[in-house]
Amino acid sequence: MLTGNQMHHFRVFGFVVLRQLFSSDEVETICTQADEVWTEGLGHAPAPDESISVAPFLELHPSLIKWIEEDRLYVPMTQLLGQDMIWSGSEGILGTTTKRTYHHWHADRPGPLELGYLRIKIMMYLEPMRKNTGALRVIPGSHRSPFHEELMAFQQSHATEAPDFFGVKGADVPAYPVETDPGDLVVFNQNLFHAVYGKVDRRRYLAWKYAARPTTDAHLSSIKKHSEYAYTPHEQLQQSDSPRIRRLIDGLVQWGEQSNNL
Ligand SMILES: O=C(O)CCC(=O)C(=O)O
């Protein structure tokens, strides 16, 4: 359960860190199970320099899937997104699929039209992350207008070969490095500008994504544009009789059809 201070932190800065939400035993078990999913995906045990990105991820393992609706994640998400929030998918990333040591400044849901619709991503890194070795960096408050719009030039340049961010290198942009140890969760608003610098080879993370229930055609179109996969929840979720899972996926398939006509 989030405290009032944590809720304020999330609302004002656009992120909150939940320290040691998982015990070391749980982290160890999650690592083993995650490695099983990556092994299955690759068809063999991952070599040290191999990378793979799997989405959806938690849905693929009979023991990982429970973390979607487990109290320690589910309850804070309902506090931020409402009891009628929806599921928006999961990811499991091993290594660095781009082969780049950086991921320049961007927001996952960028632009003024995206700001009114809250979507959240939760990251759990399975290795310790420090500022210069791949920790997620965030620009606190950049999920809010007009700061968000003032940073939109970053979005345009982030995919270019040698971008410059208001005349400085990406790694030198004023920001907060979210240093974590396994078991910590980083919860962030997907409108928030974030980046990573100094990725090292052995790097694994899991991501959970939840969103507020869409209430307008603009929300439906935005889901279609940025996360169309959310409209086809994994069959393990569709077959689930857990009330929480049923509520998380309620409406998704119909909205997917509706969004085709927008
Ligand atoms: O690689 C990471 O740690 C962060 C990836 C990222 O920026 C994203 O998922 O939007």
Per residue in 95-106, pLDDT (tens digit) is 998 888 999 999
Token pair in block for residue 219: 């929300």
Q: How confident is the model at residue 117 (pLDDT cuts 50, 70, 90)?
A: very high
Question: What distance in angstroms lies between residue 196's CA and the mean position of ligand 1's atoms?
Answer: 7
Instruction: Give burial (CB, 10 Å; 0-12/13-18/19+) of 136.
Output: buried
Comparing CA positions, the residue from 235, 78, 242, 241 lying closest to residue 252 is 235
Residue 203 Cβ < 6 Å to ligand 1: no
Give the per-residue pLDDT at 262: 85
Q: Which ligand 1 atom lies nearest to the CA of residue 96?
A: 1
Residue 108 Cβ < 6 Å to ligand 1: yes
pLDDT in tens, 75-95: 999 999 999 999 999 999 999
The domains located in the chain, with CATH, are 4-213 (2.60.120.620)
